[in-house]
Structure 1
Amino acid sequence: MLAPNPAVLRRALDGYLALAADEDPAAAVALQNAAYTLCVLTGTRTVEEAVSAADLLDARRMGPAPSSPRTFIASTVELGSGRTGAVS
């Protein structure tokens, strides 16, 4: 599974938790949208699973820092019909 950007995941989780704490019925649509976003980011089907996965991913991120940053080099591949595209 691809891991979401930790900052994006943290913002999505914080936004969801803030909306969940708000008892205003007008926030219901925004809460549903925030729950959907969390599910997409974490690859889960329920908001409960999404919150758990976000917490787990955040805990893993807080582990030991890598000794050097990872870099990716883009290259091109043939997509068919003579077209090329960038791959990273």
Structure 2
Amino acid sequence: MREPAIPLQSEACWRQCEQLGVSRVRLLLAREDLAEPFPGWRSDAREWLDARLARQGVYAFRGVLGAIAALGALIVALAWWGW
């Protein structure tokens, strides 16, 4: 999956969010007292979080499909050899 195009002013925010991690970014977004000093940061951090969670969802989906395929292959192999 390709990364979304990041404007230059958002690159620094995205790097900071990457260093902080998902849990800390969520905590910072939940704090209302940070809304006034950093108005642009909140929207950039929210975009980063959305992109990160979408990417993790794709990886989880691929993992589930891989597990289903492996289980199907195992069932076919067991049926072929007569249990």
Do both proteins adopt the same fold according to a TM-score greater than 0.5, normalized to the shorter chain?
no
* Structure with larger RCO (C-alpha < 8 A, sep 6+): 2
TM-score by length of 2: 0.33
Q: Which has the higher strand share?
A: 1
- The TM-score with structure 1 as length reference comes to 0.32
Structure with higher Rg: it is 2
